[in-house]
Each structure stands twice: as C-alpha cells, then as structure tokens.
C-alpha cells in the first residue's frame, strides 16, 4: 500500500489565512495528502502569506531561502506560495526563487490539486486569477472529524473601501459575500463536529450582504439565524469598518445573547486630517458617537481597535488627536503599527514622517494603550465569567479557555472538561491573560 503524501502548511497573518489554510489542507486531503507539523517530513510545503505587515514579501523570500537545503536534499519536494503575497507578486516569486513550484492566490486555492498534478508532470503552476466560480463550493467535503471547540468561518472576502495604505482591494479583490444558506450549513456541520464558538471572518465582515431566499441578508440577520442553531453557544465577528456598523447590527449586540461582548472596530487615527488622507470616509467624531451607540446597546462590551502612526503628513498635533481618542474610548485591546508603504497603494509615494519621530509616537501610543488594557484586565479580578475551555494550558492539570471578552483564561481543570463552558472566578490578571479557578 502506498504511503500517503504529507502536506506542511505555514500560515502567516490574519484569522482568514488560518481558515484558508484549513481549506487548502482539505483540498489537498482529497488528493491523497495528510497534514504534518514537520516541514522535514513533507512532500509539499505551502507558505500561506500575508501582505499587511512591513516587508512581508521579503520575509517570504527569507523563508524560501531557509527551505533551499530541504529542497536540495529532497528533490521531489514541492514548494508553493499561497495567499496575498502570492497574489501581489506571483511572477516575481517564480523569477526570484526557482525552487518554487506553484504560486496560488487566495481566490484560487480550490484549484490546488490540479496545480499540484501539473507540477508532478514537470510544469510550474501559477494562478492568481479572480475566478468567477465560488471557491468554497468547489472544495471537497471532508470527513466528519472532531474539531476544536472554537472555529473560524469565512463569510465575506475582499474590500471596496480603498484605504490609502491598504493592499487588500488589490490582493483579495472586491467585496464578495457567501450565500447565507451555505454559511448556515457549514456552521451546522461545525457544531456537529464539536464546535461551540464560531468567529465569522471577512476583510470587511460587517459589509456582509449574502444572497438567500427572501432577498439579501445583512450580517445582523445572519447572526440572528446562527443563534438559532442548537449547540452553537458563542458567535463573534471580525474585522469591521465603522461605516458598515448599521442600526440592526448595533441592536444585535444588545439582543442576541450568543453574540459575545467584544468588538474589533479599527479607527486607524484620531485626526480628521489624517483620516481624510487615509481615505477612511469617517471622522473621529462620527467614530466616537458610534462607540457611544454600541455601548448603549451593550454596556459591558469590550472594544478593540487598530492604529497606524507616522502616516505621511501626520504632525505631532495630529498624533495628539489620536491619543485623545484613545483616552475617550479606553480600548480593552488594540493593535498599533508604524506606517510602512505598500507598493501600488495610493499612499506609497508620499513623503514619510521621519523614522525616529514615528518610532517615538508608536512607543507613546503603545504605552497608553497598554495602560488601558491593564485597567480592563484588572477589572476582571473577582468576577465570575463563563469560560469555553479549549486546550491544555502551560502546566500539568491546567486548561486554557476564552472569556466572553476574548481573553485567555488559565485554570486547573480535568481534561475531560475540554469543550465545555464552565464558570471561573478570576483570581489574577496579566497583560494578556487571566488566571482563575473553577466555581
């Protein structure tokens, strides 16, 4: 009997890439591949790349360089690059790194098995098209294996906002929403396999408008339908744009018990001048008023955000506006980065803020955000929270789970409780996690 071929996938970047990697593994599984967590054992290595962070492409080339000895020692090894860097630099990847056998964009990974067969026949394979067919419908239905208690589910891809700093419209394409019936069917399948929490994913997830019987569905309508699924106890969604937080979605935060009280709502800057230069199409004031409405609907909601400092043209006064916005919102968690140009985006050719200035601003912003996050973490001590136990913790006899606010919670618990929602009294807060005890 022929031994199964082995597939190793290394995933970079966002949760959508995690989901995409799972689906690529499923596609290759139907073609005789089994997943492995060791690149040395693989017959095919796929790098599922992200183009959001600074020098993303160069990091991919560095990783490919590290794989060269493995390819030399194992000539039959196939190496592929997938994801957003693949979409942006497909032919260049092939030119710079001859060891790469195939390059596939994020909208075409359902074609991976056919591409792999072309490589087996001695060809190179490149597919960075935006195909008309729905890639999700062309992926095989895998075996009903048990799943971890929490799972991602992509409902929307692409973005039409064209923020001046962002490559997503060019690498993921225009906004496309999956049909509601297919999402609901996939969610039911996940629940049958042990999933109790689903995070709905999209580059601009709250722009979701999926086709279904009775006309288009909004994200709020989809969330309400998902909440009717027995056994699905928690629903989350990410990432959202402020301009697509409609009244019904805000209301859902107060009305749908299964929708968790945590919202990632990037603002990027607190200066209207910078927001306009970014092409964000909202103001700091409109964002703050939106936060007020969301908190009126769900007073205990934890807010998360994204910030870019040192955007071309940003002054110290602009940066102070960002600090002021943070002081008003007081984020439970936030992500902040120094601006770095992405080739092909409108902001790429603009004059940069001096590096030392941008670095200093980032340090000051992160200090403020850390202070607010520490306050939020400390406010959990003494509370009793429902925690979905997901996996073993760092110590023997310990499990780690998630609070409703997306915090990691460590507590002593028998392994048999994995996948259960338990009540935990929070005893201690750390910057990025909590410690508790079963109640």
What is the structure's pLDDT at 296? Answer: 98
Alpha carbons within 13 angstroms on the beta-carbon side of residue 34 total: 7
**326 annotated as a binding-site residue:** no
Confidence of residue 145 (pLDDT cuts 50, 70, 90): low
Residue 120: count other Cβ atoms within 10 Å of its Cβ.
Answer: 11
pLDDT beyond 70 at 130: no
Structure tokens at 140: 């095989």
What is the structure's pLDDT at 17? Answer: 81
Q: Name the β-bridge partners of 154.
A: 201
pLDDT beyond 60 at 144: no
Reading phi first (left if > 0) and then psi (alpha if -120 to 50, else beta), residue 98 is in alpha
Phi, psi of 66 (to 5 degrees): -70, -25
**pLDDT > 70 fraction of the chain, expressed in percent and rounded:** 95
What is the structure's pLDDT at 243? Answer: 96
pLDDT beyond 60 at 132: no
* Second-level CATH architecture of 5-127: 3-Layer(aba) Sandwich (3.40)
Q: Where in the chain is the domain with CATH 3.40.50.12160?
A: 5-127
What is the structure's pLDDT at 31? Answer: 83
Q: Where in the chain is the domain with CATH 2.40.50.140?
A: 384-438
pLDDT digits (tens, 9 = 90+) for 317-375: 999 999 999 999 999 999 999 999 988 899 999 999 999 999 999 999 999 999 999 99
Q: Are strands 5-11 and 398-402 parallel, antiparallel or unpaired?
A: unpaired
For range 235-247, the mean pLDDT: 96
pLDDT digits (tens, 9 = 90+) for 267-287: 999 999 999 999 999 999 999
More confident residue, 417 or 107: 417
Number of H helices, E strands in the chain: 13, 21
DSSP string for 191-254: HHTT--EEEEE-TTGGG-EE--TTS-EEHHHHHHHHTTSTT--EEEEE---GGG--HHHHHHHH
pLDDT beyond 90 at 429: yes
For range 232-250, the mean pLDDT: 97
pLDDT digits (tens, 9 = 90+) for 364-395: 999 999 999 999 999 999 999 999 999 999 89
Residue 101: count other Cβ atoms within 10 Å of its Cβ.
Answer: 22
pLDDT beyond 70 at 178: yes
Q: Determine contact, residues 28/7, Cβ cutoff 8 Å.
A: yes
What is the structure's pLDDT at 41? Answer: 94
How many Å apart are CA 289 and CA 278, to the nearest integer?
A: 20
Among 16-25, 159-168, 298-307, the least confident range: 16-25
Class of domain 142-378: alpha beta
pLDDT beyond 80 at 107: no
Q: Are strands 333-338 and 302-309 parallel, antiparallel or unpaired?
A: parallel
What is the structure's pLDDT at 59? Answer: 83
What is the structure's pLDDT at 141? Answer: 55
What is the structure's pLDDT at 225? Answer: 97
* Second-level CATH architecture of 384-438: Beta Barrel (2.40)
Confidence of residue 215 (pLDDT cuts 50, 70, 90): confident
More confident residue, 52 or 250: 250
For range 129-134, the mean pLDDT: 60
Q: Of the segments 89-93, 130-134, 361-365, which one has the largest average pLDDT value?
A: 361-365
Confidence of residue 84 (pLDDT cuts 50, 70, 90): confident
pLDDT beyond 80 at 134: no
SS3 content of the chain, % helix, strand, coil (to 5): 40, 25, 40
DSSP 80: E
pLDDT beyond 80 at 3: no
For range 122-139, the mean pLDDT: 70
**14 annotated as a binding-site residue:** yes
More confident residue, 215 or 437: 437
Confidence of residue 304 (pLDDT cuts 50, 70, 90): very high
For range 235-244, the mean pLDDT: 96
pLDDT digits (tens, 9 = 90+) for 15-48: 778 888 888 888 898 888 999 999 999 999 999 9
What is the overall mean pLDDT for the chain? Answer: 91
Residue 335: count other Cβ atoms within 10 Å of its Cβ.
Answer: 14
């Amino acid at each position: 009997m022929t031994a199964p071929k082995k597939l190793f996938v290394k995933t970079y970047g966002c949760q959508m890439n995690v989901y995409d990697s799972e689906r690529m593994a499923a596609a290759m599984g139907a073609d005789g591949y089994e997943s492995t967590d060791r690149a040395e054992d693989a017959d095919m290595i796929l790098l599922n790349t992200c183009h959001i962070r600074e020098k993303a492409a160069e990091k991919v080339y560095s990783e490919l360089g590290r794989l060269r000895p493995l390819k030399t020692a194992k000539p039959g090894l196939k190496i592929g690059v997938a994801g957003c860097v693949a979409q942006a630099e497909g032919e260049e990847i092939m030119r710079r790194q001859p060891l790469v056998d195939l390059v596939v964009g994020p909208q075409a990974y359902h074609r991976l098995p056919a591409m792999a067969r072309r490589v087996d026949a001695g060809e190179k394979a490149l597919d960075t098209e935006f195909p008309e067919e729905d890639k999700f419908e062309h992926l095989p239905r895998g075996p009903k294996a048990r799943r971890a208690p929490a799972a991602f589910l992509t409902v929307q891809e692409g973005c039409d906002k064209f923020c001046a700093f962002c490559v997503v419209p060019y690498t993921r394409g225009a906004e496309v929403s999956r049909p509601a019936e297919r999402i609901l069917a996939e969610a039911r399948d996940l629940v049958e396999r042990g999933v109790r929490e689903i995070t709905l994913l999209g580059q601009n997830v709250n722009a979701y408008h999926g086709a279904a019987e009775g006309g288009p569905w909004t994200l709020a309508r989809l969330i309400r339908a998902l909440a009717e699924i027995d056994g699905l106890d928690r629903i989350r969604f990410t990432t959202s744009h402020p301009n697509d937080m409609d009244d019904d979605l805000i209301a859902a935060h107060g009305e749908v018990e299964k929708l968790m009280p945590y919202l990632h709502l990037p603002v990027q800057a607190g200066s209207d001048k910078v927001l306009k230069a970014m092409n964000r199409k909202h103001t700091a004031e409109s964002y703050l008023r939106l936060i007020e409405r969301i908190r009126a609907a769900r007073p205990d909601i934890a807010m998360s955000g994204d910030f870019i400092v040192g955007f071309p043209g940003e002054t110290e006064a602009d940066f102070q506006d960002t600090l002021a916005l943070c002081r008003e919102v007081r984020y439970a968690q936030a992500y902040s980065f120094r601006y770095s140009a992405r080739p092909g985006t409108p902001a790429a050719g603009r004059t940069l803020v001096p590096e030392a200035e941008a670095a200093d601003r980032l340090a000051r912003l992160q200090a403020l955000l850390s202070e607010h996050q520490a306050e939020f973490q400390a406010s959990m001590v003494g509370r009793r929270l429902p925690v979905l136990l997901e996996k073993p913790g760092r110590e023997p006899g310990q499990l780690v789970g998630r609070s409703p606010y997306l915090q990691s919670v460590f507590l002593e618990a028998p392994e048999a409780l994995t996948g259960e929602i338990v009540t935990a009294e929070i005893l201690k807060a750390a910057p990025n996690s909590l410690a508790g005890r079963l109640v």
